Amino acid sequence: MNYIWYFLIVISIIFGAVNGTIDQVARAIFLGCELTVKIVLTLIGIMTFWLGIMKIAEKSGIVEFLSKLLKPIAKVIFPEIPKDSPIIGDVAMNFTANALGLANAATPIGIKAMEGMQEINKDKESASNSMCTLLAMNTAGFQLIPATVIAILAANGCENPTQIIVPTLIVTGTAFISAILIAKLFSKIFPPQQNSEAKYDN
């Protein structure tokens, strides 16, 4: 990515020099740097506020409460996992933290869920259906409150930055459901194969 940005800057300077607009290019660079600093400073305040709200929700037990409500759904999505396994709780907690924008809390929980799935995975060299489904869910990035987008809109002077909440729910919800359905579809098309040891034993 750094090389791409470097290439774009160099090309801009070259074309500016050829077209005689190098002064405009230089002015645009300085204006861009100034705008970047303003946006970053605004983002710090807004993101601090939202992360504080989410941290309160985490400490007050709201996240844990929501994860308990989602456990029955997680059992349906991950039928390969034993019903009484703590992995189900980790999956529900991971989804809840992601939905509330608590990425820092969701990541270690997701890793813990993956480790648990690997322990019950019969083929240690390949990802199980449950692992692929969890990865798809995290990649879809469902969010109830898109704090980052709201912060960016507010930093750029948007009068009503929260208007993005409903469209974000629709888009991320659609992506989330699609990711699960596609993962389930591919699990049927490409069923897990027995490992070499199992084949040898047979």
Task: List, for residues 91-137, the tens digit of each pLDDT value.
Answer: 888 888 778 766 666 788 888 889 989 998 888 888 888 899 999 98
Is 39 in contact with 152 (CB distance < 8 Å)?
Answer: yes
Token digits of residue 104: 């820092």
- 115/107 Cα distance (integer angstroms): 12
Count Cβ neighbours within 10 Å for each residue of 168-179 and write b for 16 or more, e otherwise: beebbeebbeeb
Can you say whether residue 163 is alpha, beta or left, with left for phi > 0 and alpha for psi between -120 and 50 degrees?
A: alpha
- Identify whether the C-beta of residue 138 lies closer than 8 Å to the C-beta of residue 98: yes
Does the pLDDT at position 86 exceed 70? yes
d(CA 93, CA 134): 12
Tell me the pLDDT of the chain averaged across its residues.
79
Provide the pLDDT confidence category of residue 197 given band limits of 50, 70 and 90. very low
Strongest mean pLDDT among 41-55, 164-178, 185-199 = 164-178
Structural domain boundaries in the chain: 27-189
Average pLDDT, integer, range 3-15: 82
pTM for the full predicted model? 0.62
Tell me the three state secondary structure of residue 145.
Answer: coil
Question: Going along the chain, which residue ranges are E strands?
Answer: none
CA distance 136 to 138: 5
- Examine the pLDDT at 61 and tell me if it is beyond 80: no
Asked whether 96 and 63 are in contact (CB, 8 A), the reply is yes
Given a cut of 90, whether residue 30 has pLDDT beyond it is no
CA 36-39-40 angle, to 5 degrees, is: 85
* φ, ψ of residue 143 in degrees (nearest 5): -140, 135
